[in-house]
Copies of this chain bind each other. A is one copy, B any other.
Amino acid sequence: MVRWEPGSADRLREAAMELFVERGYEQTTVAEIAQRAGVTARTFFRHYADKREVLFGGSETLERALLGALETAPAAASPMAVVAVALDAAAGPLGRDHAWSRRRQSVVEANAELRERELIKMARLGGALAGGLRRRGVPDPAATLAAEAGIVVFRVAFERWVADPEPAGLGSLMRETLAALQAVTASEHRSADRADRPTAGR
């Protein structure tokens, strides 16, 4: 057993994912993860608070990437342009390991607790993004709406990306999905012109 061998975090991460895929998340113990990685359980706990953190430890990196990008966007950029910059920044670290992300998604989707955790993570990211827009002087509800629209784009693009065995880059999928959201929300104007139709809901 090597305790401080460099790379033990990576080996633990890979061992955990293999076991989650093979046996299911619920059925995998920290002891088994450590054993497969060739380290002690103590070493596991030096790197991760629990087995869930192997899957969710990247959330903070992601939030930092999103919020950091808000600082770099030009002052005159519209709220959605700022959100686009943030999505691009998030696509960098997140889009690096497609095979890992695909396996992670299958594990999360198979477990109700993890699906809920993922929802909470996305809600937090949305809140952080809205806060960042407010600090840039964007008033509400525009800040919240732009941030939440950004999170919708993020999630839909990410799900398309992991579903595709040989996808385009995550960044370009995010931009494509943002354009699709803009097209679909703008399309309501078409029917808003028919304001006299009671069934059109206006």
| Interface residue ranges, A against B (CB under 8 Å) | 69, 72-74, 76-81, 83-89, 116, 119-120, 123, 141-142, 144-146, 148-149, 152-153, 155-156, 160, 175, 177-178, 180-192, 197, 199-202
Inter-chain pairs besides A80-B185, A84-B201, 4 sampled, C-beta below 8 Å: A80-B188, A141-B160, A145-B180, A149-B185
* A72-B199 in contact (CB<8A): yes
Which residues of B sit under 8 angstroms from A175, Cβ to Cβ? 201-202
Interface of A is mostly: helix
Count identical subunits in the complex: 2
Which residues of B sit under 8 angstroms from A181, Cβ to Cβ? 145, 149, 185
Pick the residue among B145, B186, B200 that contacts A77 (CB under 8 A). Answer: B200
Pick the residue among B83, B182, B200 that contacts A85 (CB under 8 A). Answer: B200
Give the shortest distance, in Å, between A140 (CB) and chain B (any CB). Answer: 9
Pick the residue among B78, B187, B199 that contacts A188 (CB under 8 A). Answer: B78
Pick the residue among B84, B148, B189, B192 that contacts A156 (CB under 8 A). Answer: B148
